[in-house]
Each structure stands twice: as C-alpha cells, then as structure tokens.
Structure 1
Amino acid sequence: MEKIVSRKLRINAKDAMKIAEKLYTQGYISYPRTETNIFPKELNLTPLVEQQMEDARWGPFARRIMNEGGPNPRQGKKSDNAHPPIHPTKYAANLTGNEQKIYEYIVRHFLACVQKDAKGFETTVNVDIAGEKFTAKGLIILEKNYLDVYVYEGWNTKEISNYHQGDTFMPTVLDIVSIIQPYKNVKK
C-alpha cells in the first residue's frame, strides 16, 4: 500500500503509514501493516461492501457489486496467516485531507478486489507497404468492471478497424517521419 499511495496520491510512505495506523486505531480500516492479498473464507465481505453504498463517489459501484451477486474476491498469492488484506471496517464520512485520500484509496482498492476483472480485446495489425513494415495496436474495452471504481489505473480505448489476414486497404494518411540514407564512400 505504501508504494502505491506514495506514487498515486503523492503522500510519502512514512506519512501514509502513520495515517493508515491512525485510521486503524479509529476503527475505519483493518490492520495496515500487512502484505496479505488473500481474503480468508470466514471473513464476511458482504456487510463491508454494503456499508460503502451510502457514499456518493463509490456507493453506486458498491450497490452494483451487491446487485451482481455480492462480493467475489480475487485471490492473490500472499498471506501472512495473521491478518486479512487491508480493507475498510466501517464507513467514514467526515475525514478530510490525506486521511480522506488514504481511506478512499483503501475503499476503492477493496471494492476493486471484490469485483470482476476488466474484459477487452487487443488487436494487432501488421502492415507491409512497399516493403516497409508497420504495426498498429488497438484495444476495445468490453467491460470495465473493477476499473469503474479503481481510478488509479485504467485502460484507454484506441479502436482500430477489424481486419483479417490478407485484407487490403487504402491508408488515409502516409507521413514520412524521417529518411535515412546510406553513407557514401569517401575517398581520400
């Protein structure tokens, strides 16, 4: 958490951990000094999602999770067998400043972890024009899912037409960026 909060929220790691520990002692989040990313089966995540439904920023997303069958956590690979992943333990409406930013990050990360993966298609087109090779890549997002709440990363849609092997087309623009000519032999 410290690295991501430092990079995404521009709060230094030491201050971020102090704030997280304060949020923990106030009962807003679970124990923050853990690298665990596996939710134990006995932890009931449903009320943790439901309590976030009242927030105007991420409440609609929490409601969507519940409408789609409830939380279904993505299981990671790390567990210290002592603490669950960092998650909100109660709704916090009155936080301000960096406390609010870190709490929001923890809530959004938690909600993203209990939602489905994003789905998309990546298309790669390899083109040969007069012996010159070009490549274009495009991404079509089908379902953003967790990306709808986890604003700290995202996919950018860059659509390209649907092509099949052997198709021909007429480019709309051909720009020559640079021309490289071979060195001429210099005689002395």
Structure 2
Amino acid sequence: MEELYLDKLISYPRTDSDVYPKDFDHNSNLEQFTNHTVYGVPSSKILKGGTATPTRGRKDAGDHIPITPIASVEISNSRLNTPVKLKVYDLLTRHYLALFYPPAKEMKAELGFNINMEPFRAHNLDCISPGYLELLPEFAPKYAKLPTVTQGRTYPVMEVKKEEKLTTAPPRYNDTTLVQLMEKKKIGTKSTRPTMIQILLDRQYAQRVKKQIQITPYGHGLMANLETIWSSFLEPDFTRHVEELLESILEGKESQQVVVDGIRGEFLTLFDAFRSKKATITRSMQAISLQGKRNGKGQVITQKREQLSTSDCPFCGKARMKVVKTHKGTHFLACTSETCKKNLALPKKGRISFLKTKCLICGFSPIRISTSKNKHPFTYNLCPNCWTRSFQESENKQGFCKNCAIGKIEYDTCQAKASKVDELH
C-alpha cells in the first residue's frame, strides 16, 4: 500500500479509521471512476442515486480518512506494475464502491424430520439479494439450498451414517486471523501489523507451515525468558495503555511532554531489567539452538546444530567460531565466547561446511563453499581467517580469489607451500 500511496493512487494508508468526515466529497471522487472499464458501471449506478452516502464504520481515529482510492487508473496502467499492487488497488477500489451498495439479504431456513420419534434438524443459509457482495464475492458465505419437501409427507430413510469425533484444539493462526487478533487487542495499525508478523518470521521467532504461523523453539525460548523480567510489557494491555496515552495527547487531555517522559521512563526501567539478564538470556537462547523440537504429534524433529569451526577462534584462542546467518541470507563467522566479539567474513553465496584439515598458514579451520554458476553446481575451499586478512591487508580492499596459490585448498587439504607459509609468518 505504501507504493500505491506514493504513486498518489490511494489515501494515506497508516490509519485505523473507517469513518469518513462529513465534508468528504464522495461524488467528486466517484465521478472519476465512471469511465473505468471495470469500475465504471458500479460508479455510475451509485451516482444515479443522488448524493453518495457510504456505510458508516466503527472507528474514527481522527488522524486521516479511511484508506480510499483517489485516482482512477486502468488495469494496464504502468503504475500498477506488479501483481501485488494490482490486487491491492483492485480490492481497495471494490471495497470503497461496496460502501455505497445496500446490505446483502439472506434467508435462514430449517427443515425438520421425525425418525422413530427422534427429531432431526437441517439448517441452511440462502442469498435473496447479494447487495454489496456483488462487488466483493470473495467475502460471501457459502450458500446452499435445502431440498423441496411437502409438509406432513412421509419420506424413506435411504442411509444412516454414524460419525465418531473427538474434540480438537483450536486452529492455529494464519496471516488473516493473526491480523484480526492484533486488531482486536489494539496492537499496531492496518499497515504495521503485517510488518510486525514478517519481522517475527525474518528473525525466526515464528515460521510458516503451509498457511499456518507457528512459534519456533526460539520464539518459545524468547517468550519464556522475557516473561521473567518483562511480563507486563508482553501483555497487550501495555501497548493499549501507550496508545491510549497518545490518544489523550490528540484529544488535548494530556501534554505531549508529560506523556513522552512517562512512557520513556517505563521503557528505560524495562530495558535496564533486560540488560541485567542479558548474559543469562543469551546462554539460554544458544542452548535452544542445540535442542530438537517437536511437531504437533509430539514427535521429535531433528534440528540442525550450530556449525562450529574445528579449531579455536584465531583472535582469542578460547572458543570455537560459529556460522551466523543474517536475515538477508548472508553469512559470517562469530566467536562463541561471550568476551570475544570478533567476526570473520564469509562469501555471500553458497552452502558452508567446515573441513577437518587445518590451514597451514594460520592454523584455522578451512571451509567448503557449495554453490552454482550458470545453473551448474561447483565447490571451492578457502580459509576464512586468511581470506578476511587479505581484505584488510590489500590496498584495493579485495580478498584473494578461490584459485589463488596462497593457501589454496584442494582435496580437503591445505596446499600452501612451505615458502609461502614462511613468507606470510
């Protein structure tokens, strides 16, 4: 939606408002859609009724109008240059037009039978008039018609089915239901809620399993640790409390300085508590990465262990180094010692594995990089320590290539010549 807003196709998207101000000119806004190949017919139909009045929403945040299409562009327009932008623009426009349509009319029906003096009932929902669902058919419930029967007539029982069912746990959240829960708990806004979910996925606190969003062992571990020091902060009431204070500024009930100072003080108190437990939380989270996790059936799923070097850190010499993967998909080596904060660079692409040999130049663990080029797989080896040093010592800040004779590794063994080793030492 941000791109649609920057292209001046929709109004400001970061709002929870769904109530229009009384002076908003809907007729002028609808007029520009009357010649549209898709939205022209419903727009003209609305304007024929005179002054367009939308269905009133439930929340007036007081900051901006509801998210509204403010420019009419055809489906083939260059500003709708991605499938996502086209889909969002189409949904927002149809939703806006649907606000001026009448409600859908439905009919509930019940069919009753007595079989051996036992009452049986069948229910259904049928659509009499689609109303606004004519523009939003994807939001329509599933309608079904009951068979036509004559009251008082006897009908034969053709088949009896017996079903045995057990109670099941509530369904897991998906993107839609999780956003709805966040809205109910007043967490975030329409624009920020999907971003919050994506951050949890990027940081591996949650994961998508098919269409479901499930908490990972890291997520469970983080929650368990934070609950011991930030229990009040983790509750939705805290976010609601902060947003209510911000609303009080908007309404003129509180001064901005008083509210900001109060919220800052609460955050700093919580942050100090977190810092005091940082070392404990770090060790706990590291331990989780070495444990297995269980699926919904309680079966243990083997979780990949941390990739550790076969030799100690070349900086502190006290602990192994581990492969760290960033949210962008790149890698680097980090010392596992809490007192050593040194890192080693790694190539941006490829799958990494440590070799059992040692580099004859520096004594550190060489690695193998498995990747592909021109759709053909290939591998190469290098020493991360020597490679990082070559960046630092080179005048043009470029490291040696994988084919360089210095420290070249073949057949899982370092091929550095004695003369080169002596020269570098």
TM-score (normalizing by structure 1) = 0.73
- For residue 76 of structure 1, the aligned residue among 38, 52, 57 is 57
1:134 maps to 120
Match of 2:161 among 160, 173, 177: 177
Q: How many angstroms does 1:112 deviate by?
A: 1.2
CA, structure 1 residues 56+172, in 2 after alignment: closer, same or farther (shift >3 Å)? Answer: farther
| 1:72–1:116 Cα contact (<8 Å) kept | no
1:121, 1:139 within 8 Å by CA — same for their partners in 2? yes
Identity in percent = 26
CA–CA separation in structure 2 for the residues paired with 1:110 and 1:77: 15
* 1:1-188 paired onto structure 2 within 5 Å: 20-93=1-74, 94=77, 95-96=80-81, 97-160=83-146, 167-171=151-155, 174-178=158-162
Change in 2 beyond 3 A, CA 1:157/1:151: closer
Question: Which structure has the highest helix share of the two?
Answer: 2
Give the Cα–Cα distance (whole angstroms) in 2 for the partners of residues 134 and 119 of structure 1. Answer: 27
Q: Which one has the largest radius of gyration? A: 2
Could you tell me how far apart the structure 1 residues matched to 2:37 and 2:31 are?
Answer: 13
CA RMSD, Structure 1 to Structure 2 (Å): 2.5
Q: TM-score of the superposition, structure 2-length normalised?
A: 0.35
Counterpart amino acid of residue 174 in structure 1: M
Three-state SS of the structure 1 residue aligned to 2:138 is coil
Higher relative contact order (CA 8 A, sep 6+): 1
- Structure 1 gaps of 5+ residues are 1-19, 181-188
- CA shift for structure 1 position 174: 3.0
Measured in 1, the distance between the counterparts of 2:49 and 2:111 equals: 36
Indicate the residue corresponding to 2:356 in structure 1. Answer: none
Number of aligned residue pairs: give it.
159
The answer to whether the Cα contact below 8 Å between 1:45 and 1:71 also exists between their aligned partners in 2 is: yes
Residues 1:114 and 1:129: Cα distance change in structure 2 (over 3 Å):
same
Consecutive unaligned residues in structure 2, runs of 5 or more: 165-425
Structure 1 outlier segments of 4+, above 6 Å: none
**What is the letter of the counterpart of residue 43 of structure 2?**
A
Counterpart AA for 2:4: L
One-letter code of the match for 1:119?
K
| Change in CA separation of 1:121 and 1:68 when aligned onto 2, cut-off 3 Å | farther
Kept in 2, the 8 Å contact 1:71–1:115? The answer is no
Give the distance between the partners of 1:59 and 1:117, measured in 2 at CA: 21
